[in-house]
């Protein structure tokens, strides 16, 4: 990531453009406009909802509610949400606000930052393998809230932090880190299937679970993995143990969520869904 600063004039032009689009949306009866941060999940409730959609992507409501995950790297601007109920198509616009997350500065061994040609080739292969998971779809096997991956779940954070490692800007942190003792059991957040279980350069020993409806949960830096690819797992089932493999400074669990390709804050799906940002 090369740029952490933005021309203030360009920023104001973008904001004004967004406001113009927002007021136009209201004028054409698309409903009120709410502002939300990237990396969140928006909730649109109502009676008799038959389907929900963003652009060309449609999906079934969950417990009668439309949930719209907003990607962490979604740019500022207006997003149109739609739903169908009572034979009518309803729509409204939301405004994605500025990136609100802090900068995290880390110092790591040079071998984990300035990669050799061999390590770089490995990272690219692993990224391609992982990237193929985001397009998976299937019957929904989960309900909200998800089950915490540790019991008890300690305080965690750093979701969205823009990382500067050894002075070099890197990709933002797309999961939540939970400090825990090495060997502590790591639990499946919901019923699902093991989509990938491997030892990756950055993530170390890691497990990716497919819960249907495009929801993938991720568990990184494990000391051991107790499941294998293709295996069905149940909510709360141990899938591995806390460790410090891969690019890690100590034992902890990196827990991440992708929902319909969007990187969202895991903590949002571990709490009461009624507490998610709601639009009307």
Position 127 pLDDT exceeds 90: yes
**Mean pLDDT to the nearest integer, 229-243:** 98
pLDDT (mean) for 43-50? 96
Kindly write down the DSSP assignment for every residue of 211-244, as one continuous string: -STTEEEEEEEEEEE---TT-EE-TT-EEEEEB-
Q: Check the CA dihedral 59-63-68-72 and report its sign.
A: negative
* Sequence-separated (6 or more) residues with CB below 8 Å from residue 92: 25, 30, 31, 32, 33, 44, 80, 81, 279
Give the pLDDT of residue 33: 64
Whether domain 103-273 has CATH 2.70.70.10: the reply is yes
Reported as a single tens digit per residue, the pLDDT across 246-270 is 988 899 999 999 999 999 999 999 9
pLDDT of residue 10 exceeding 50? no
Query: What's the CATH number for 8-99?
Result: 2.60.40.1590
pLDDT of residue 201: 95
pLDDT at 3: 35
pLDDT in tens, 203-226: 999 999 999 999 999 999 999 999
pLDDT of amino acid 9:
41
Report the chain's mean pLDDT, rounded to a whole number. 88
What pLDDT, in 10s, does the model give residues 145-156? 999 999 999 998
pTM of the full structure: 0.85
* pLDDT value of position 165: 80
For CATH 2.60.40.1590, list the domain ranges present in the chain.
Answer: 8-99
Q: Is the predicted pLDDT of residue 134 greater than 90, yes or no?
A: yes
Q: Is 205 or 163 the better-scoring residue by pLDDT? A: 205
Q: Above pLDDT 90, what percent of the chain?
A: 74
Does pLDDT of 191 surpass 90? yes
Higher pLDDT, 162 or 85: 85
Chain centroid offset of residue 264 CA: 3
Report the distance separating Cα 176 and Cα 238, nearest Å.
19
Q: What's the pLDDT at 17? A: 45
Q: Which of 74, 82, 38, 40 is nearest to 57 (CA)?
A: 82
**Residue 93 clears pLDDT 50, i.e. is over it:** yes
CATH 2.70.70.10 in the chain, residue ranges: 103-273
């Amino acid at each position: 990531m090369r740029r952490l600063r933005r021309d203030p004039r360009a920023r104001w032009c973008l904001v004004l453009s967004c406001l113009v689009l927002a007021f136009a949306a209201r004028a054409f009866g698309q409903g009120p406009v709410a502002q939300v941060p990237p990396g969140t999940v928006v909730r649109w409730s109502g009676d008799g909802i038959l389907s929900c959609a963003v652009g060309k992507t449609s999906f079934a409501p969950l417990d009668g509610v439309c949930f719209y995950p907003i990607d962490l790297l979604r740019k500022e601007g207006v997003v149109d949400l739609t739903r169908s109920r009572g034979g009518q198509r309803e729509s409204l616009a939301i405004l994605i606000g500025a990136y609100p997350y802090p900068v995290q500065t880390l110092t790591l061994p040079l071998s984990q930052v300035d990669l050799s040609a061999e390590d770089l080739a490995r990272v690219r292969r692993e990224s391609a393998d992982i990237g193929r998971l985001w397009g998976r779809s299937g019957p929904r096997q989960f309900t909200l809230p998800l089950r915490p991956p540790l019991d008890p779940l300690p305080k965690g954070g750093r979701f969205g932090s823009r990382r500067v490692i050894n002075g070099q800007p890197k990709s933002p942190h797309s999961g939540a880190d939970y400090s825990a003792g090495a060997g502590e059991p790591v639990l499946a957040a919901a019923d699902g299937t093991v989509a990938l279980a491997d030892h990756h350069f950055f993530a170390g020993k890691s497990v990716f679970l497919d819960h249907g409806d495009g929801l993938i949960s991720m568990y990184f830096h494990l000391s051991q993995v107790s499941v294998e690819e293709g295996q069905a797992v149940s909510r709360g089932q141990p899938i591995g143990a806390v460790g410090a493999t891969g690019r890690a400074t100590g034992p902890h669990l990196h827990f991440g969520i992708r929902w319909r390709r969007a990187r969202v804050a895991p903590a949002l799906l571990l709490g009461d869904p009624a507490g998610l940002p709601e639009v009307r």
